[in-house]
Amino acid sequence: MKRLVLVVFVALAVSASLSAQQALFSSFDRTPQPSSLAAADSIGAFVPSLAIPAAAVPAALLSPVPSAALPDAPRVPQFGRGGDIGYRWDLAVGYEYVHFESKPFSANMSGIHTSIAYSLNEWFALEGSLVSAFGGDVFQGGEMSKYVLFTGGGRILWNRQPHRLSPWAHVLAGLTHVNPQIAHSSKNAFALQAGGGVDWFFNPRLSFRGEADFVHTLLYSDAQNNFQIGVGVVLHF
């Protein structure tokens, strides 16, 4: 009799404990967490009654987590056909030898040649050019001749990078200014410059240049046909 009473008492105590635990757990959020889904699925494979229904799992937990977008790689200028034309601007500076001959006088002059060009595409660029040169012993001893040629126009290019040698040709038009002045004649006149050269690329940013030009001018009520040659360096940017 005492054993029967003891068993009934233990059963009532276990039942009350289970009811209290069920009420306690029902007060918490019972949404399954991602870390517990795999374990619950593995248990449900063996015990079907414990499997978690698909409807009970939020859609956000079932969708794959998107990977973080990687930043774009820095853009490196490409050269040659099928890619970018590379650096568009060319700034050239160098030595220039000018031979100027006219009816009043002739002179051999030395000076500086500066030009800047902007490439519109792989084969054509817009160019501006400035030549300043000086010479001596004109008309009288110690009198210097002065020559300024300012022109602009177009340049045709071949074999841009990655080729080491890049030949080019240009045709430019503008103004020339020559001293000394001759009586009844202007020191300024129209000028046409045509010629070409070649660039040797040391690297994509720097090249060395050699060039030669024919220069047609209209000074002293006459026409002059002269030439100039030069060497220099070119910065590409």
Structural domain contains residue 73:
no
Say whether both 116 and 216 belong to one domain.
yes
Residue 204 DSSP one-character state: T
Question: Is the distance from CB of 113 to CB of 93 less than 8 angstroms?
Answer: yes
Q: How many distinct structural domains can be found in the chain?
A: 2
pLDDT value of position 122 = 87
Partners of 90 in the beta sheet?
117, 236
Same domain assignment for residues 45 and 125: no
Does residue 206 form part of some domain? yes
Residue 187 lies in a domain: yes
Q: Are residues 56 and 99 in the same domain?
A: no
**CA distance linking residue 115 with residue 112, whole number of Å:** 10
- What range does the domain containing 161 cover? 89-236
Last residue of one domain, picked from the residues 15, 46, 62: 62
- 110 and 219 in a single domain? The answer is yes
How many other CB atoms are found less than 10 A from the CB of residue 112? 15
Kindly state whether residues 49 and 93 are assigned to the same domain.
no
The reported pLDDT for the residue numbered 21 is 54
CATH code for the domain of 146? 2.40.160.20
Domain boundary among 19, 45, 62: 62
Contact 216, 223 (CB under 8 A): yes
The values of phi and psi at residue 219, to 5°, are -120, 155
Intervals of the chain under pLDDT 70: 1-85, 140-142, 160-163
The reply to whether 165 and 214 lie within a common domain is yes
pLDDT for res 47: 47
